[in-house]
Structure 1
């Protein structure tokens, strides 16, 4: 076909009405510039767009051609254009289409276009008059034009004609052998499926004068084969099942020639022919489809060369498929690694469930779903998170392993893809109103061979059924999700055990062992930074009598109430622990003894004022507490010294009548009285052992001494 005629025919397509078209041909010759592309025909709608396009495409046309696929580009600040590389009758060609712009106008671009003396704003009405398009629209135009070019290989008969059988020229000699060898060489360097098919079909048509050519290739799930007309036939010819494929192929790699009638004609009614010769596309015992030539009498030598070409084509298609699979697996691995990093940042189970469900739904464009986990007894299941439905209502549902769709998946451990819940014999149920489509996917969440739950997804955004590819992608992600769920549960369990090891199970306060470690840390920090630190020991008065009279349950409740009072009286930075029995210890970092006395009085008063269960049955009719206060550094510099000082102060509070606060003596006061008995002393000498003044008087004296 002459190049001008080719452009004229393409320009007649409605989708190209607003585009300028230019055809480039690889320049022949032996000079240095040979091999580059030159314009050989053009149909210009807009000169300005054509000029901008020429500067952009011509410089890199060799690169575009080597890529072998249509390219859509944005250039000049706002213009769109496409380039389609192809080979026709041995010529390397590139078709460039331009003449549309994106919706927004770039004024800087206009200034650049007007740099030869024009005014940028004078170009504005002109540019505004150009047709607008999106990148996706231009991409779709380029793909449709590519498909049309593929059908132009040679001037085609109308596909509704039924010509006599064509006869290949005899003999098939060196020229045919050379053409096939050239095609085989080109196949080695091609990187796309469409390019591979185009090379083979073009060689068959031009070398062996084939009247009509079609190719059957498997779909993405390899359950059926799409048949495409490549020359002299409609592009979309139909779909064949695996069983129907047997009608077209002979065992092994042999060609098969049959009359086009009966079941053959019924399977592909769009094809009008008399005779069909098929060459199987088979690589490594994998059936990839077939190459069909209609109404052409092929001599043995021609059939042999075409068989070689079909074998090479199958091998290349298989290699491209493996490359694509590896690329997808690599991309999936990278994506899963990225998702792993995201999920590893989550340490809350609820947030993890939410993230897993959101990621899974995004992977396959689902709009509804849920995560179900199997109970520890292995009988029931609980919905832990939902998408597209109310979680609180979902959690009330009674679910059992083995019952319903999700229960069946939980029991068998096998994933389930359902295209129509009403027609699928495995489920056979009426569709529920809340689901917009009848397709769903259920994936077991497994750790090794143990099923821990089920991931359910339904209602694809486009309402089409889920595919096998969706199932495979979700299965890969489900393995990761299961590991993340286990990890989070293990972390929470370890945190719980760690918490149990440092806390008192009754009150929830820290225990004595943790107190010692934490207080030593605070003492070291206070010493380094020159800070005060005060500890308060709190002991409930006559608690043994209370426990005996009111019972152990009331005693436990009283201890928990006391713990809450102490915690509410302290800052977040303070530390409180159950030291043993009815005795508690509070650590106040950065707090002087005078400041701690205020806190101690608040604790004493709150305990005295609180109504404890059954306290009216004890002799004093109420439960109170005695408190001892000691500070770093004046009363001690180590854990043992401070605890000893506060314990002595607490003892003095008990000895002075209980329900009061006593501050520990200074080191000098301790030295003066070590020779005396520590037990019964006259009331007048108690001031030598510990300050037992009225709280307000003590506080006033302490504040005055600081000033």
Structure 2
């Protein structure tokens, strides 16, 4: 009997050990399968993430492919240089889907001034000055390359803040606009919806497009300025006066305001050139140009009409006002001493003038100038150093 009991116990123990061993094996197998399944799930998640990133990149590339031609076309259009900052900000926002964009232009003293932006306080425009040396802005200005925040922090550890960051805008990137090796402006981008590191090539391309647009616009404006400016006196010339007449005459018609023109000529200018030399004659021309510019109203347009003739276009001035203003200038110029090098005493220089008023004396630029010129001729014939009112246009002997 005891032997049977012992045998039974041994059988039970053996069965228990076998059961436990089987359970342990199954648990180990399940654990391995679970780990394998988790590893597979992790790989699937990575694959899904990679596929999503691939889709995002593909979608972004498709979006960029659509935006770029439009950007190139818009920047290739003719824009005044003062309109380009607003366009650059708008294109930057469209391209990077940012919450904030600020554009700051470089001033002559080297500092930067925020002039345009989106998502920034309106009070910043035209008032917020930025140091060109601090933080991300300083790096972008110095190296003339796009600066990303992550890269800047990695290089600098705890970098110094720029004035823009102190004001409350923390940029993801600072993009310099470089024209002929000089930074003319910077674009600061914050709150970008995408990854700026991935969009770096597009940011650089945008900067180049904006820089080219600035360069072309400034070059055209410089050429136009030279075409419209008298090089000796710095005044506008006859071509500019003709264009400005169209603008002012249209305004005069729309609002019912008068508009007048005064024409001046230096008396005996040929004798001054012959007696004292052409350098003295040029100096007299510059003197009269400066004199008229200083005494004209802020709304008046002073031009060198040609040779020794000067003209002033006076908006909102009737016949009485233009005559009074012209005669006052004539009388004051007569009292202005003119010193000639090598001469003991200053020489006396006088001017004569003629005036005409739109629309009663003429409704076109040519007609109005002709009436004023007839008055000027009458003043010359009547003894010089005087201003004549409107005169009928007649054939001269």
Normalised-by-shorter TM-score class? 0.5 to 0.7
Two-structure CA RMSD over aligned residues (Å): 6.1
Further displaced range: 595-604 or 612-621: 612-621
Residues 409 and 547 of structure 1, relative CA distance in 2, 3 Å threshold: same
The residue aligned with 2:231 is: 505
CA distance in 1, matches of 2:176, 2:366: 57
- Give the drift of 1:557: 4.4
Q: Is 1:623 matched up with 2:349?
A: yes
CA contact (8 A) 2:260 2:357 kept: yes
The residue aligned with 2:55 is: 323
Specify the SS of the correspondent of 2:313. Answer: strand
The residue aligned with 1:605 is: 331
CA distance in 2, matches of 1:421, 1:489: 33
CA distance in 1, matches of 2:130, 2:326: 45
Specify the SS of the correspondent of 1:478. Answer: helix
Residues 590 and 327 of structure 1, relative CA distance in 2, 3 Å threshold: same
Q: Is 1:653 matched up with 2:379?
A: yes
5+ residue gaps in structure 2? 1-22, 115-127, 166-171
The residue aligned with 1:464 is: none
Residues 166 and 370 of structure 1, relative CA distance in 2, 3 Å threshold: farther
The match for 1:481 among 194, 202, 207 is: 207
CA contact (8 A) 1:535 1:588 kept: yes
Residues 336 and 599 of structure 1, relative CA distance in 2, 3 Å threshold: same
CA distance in 2, matches of 1:363, 1:537: 56
The residue aligned with 1:251 is: none
Residues 532 and 572 of structure 1, relative CA distance in 2, 3 Å threshold: same
Of Structure 1 and Structure 2, which has the larger fraction of its residues in strand?
Answer: 1
CA distance in 2, matches of 1:353, 1:529: 32
Q: Is 1:213 matched up with 2:35?
A: yes
Specify the SS of the correspondent of 1:421. Answer: helix
1:275-302 per-residue CA deviation (whole Å, 9 max, x = no partner) reads xxx66x9xxxxxxxx65xxxxxxxxxxx
Specify the SS of the correspondent of 2:239. Answer: helix
The match for 1:496 among 214, 222, 227 is: 222
The residue aligned with 1:585 is: 311
Specify the SS of the correspondent of 1:566. Answer: helix
Structure 1 or 2, whichever has the larger Rg, is 1
CA distance in 2, matches of 1:407, 1:519: 44
1:445-469 per-residue CA deviation (whole Å, 9 max, x = no partner) reads 689xx987697989x99xxxxxx94
The residue aligned with 1:538 is: 264
The residue aligned with 2:17 is: none
Residues 475 and 371 of structure 1, relative CA distance in 2, 3 Å threshold: farther
Residue correspondence of structure 1 range 254-269 to structure 2 within 5 A: none
CA contact (8 A) 1:628 1:650 kept: yes
CA contact (8 A) 2:175 2:203 kept: no
CA contact (8 A) 1:371 1:456 kept: no
CA distance in 1, matches of 2:362, 2:237: 22
Higher relative contact order (CA 8 A, sep 6+): 2
CA distance in 2, matches of 1:422, 1:593: 70
Specify the SS of the correspondent of 1:559. Answer: helix
- Give the drift of 1:490: 1.9
Residues 336 and 383 of structure 1, relative CA distance in 2, 3 Å threshold: farther
Q: Is 1:560 matched up with 2:286?
A: yes
- Give the drift of 1:579: 1.4
Residues 666 and 583 of structure 1, relative CA distance in 2, 3 Å threshold: closer
Specify the SS of the correspondent of 1:348. Answer: helix
TM-score calculated relative to the size of structure 2: 0.58
- Give the drift of 1:538: 0.3
CA distance in 1, matches of 2:293, 2:224: 21
Specify the SS of the correspondent of 1:506. Answer: coil
TM-score calculated relative to the size of structure 1: 0.36
The residue aligned with 1:306 is: none
- Give the drift of 1:563: 2.5
CA contact (8 A) 2:266 2:351 kept: yes
Specify the SS of the correspondent of 1:505. Answer: coil
CA distance in 2, matches of 1:317, 1:393: 42
- Give the drift of 1:479: 2.3
Residues 506 and 452 of structure 1, relative CA distance in 2, 3 Å threshold: same
- Give the drift of 1:599: 1.6
1:512-534 per-residue CA deviation (whole Å, 9 max, x = no partner) reads 23434554776788789987654
The residue aligned with 2:168 is: none
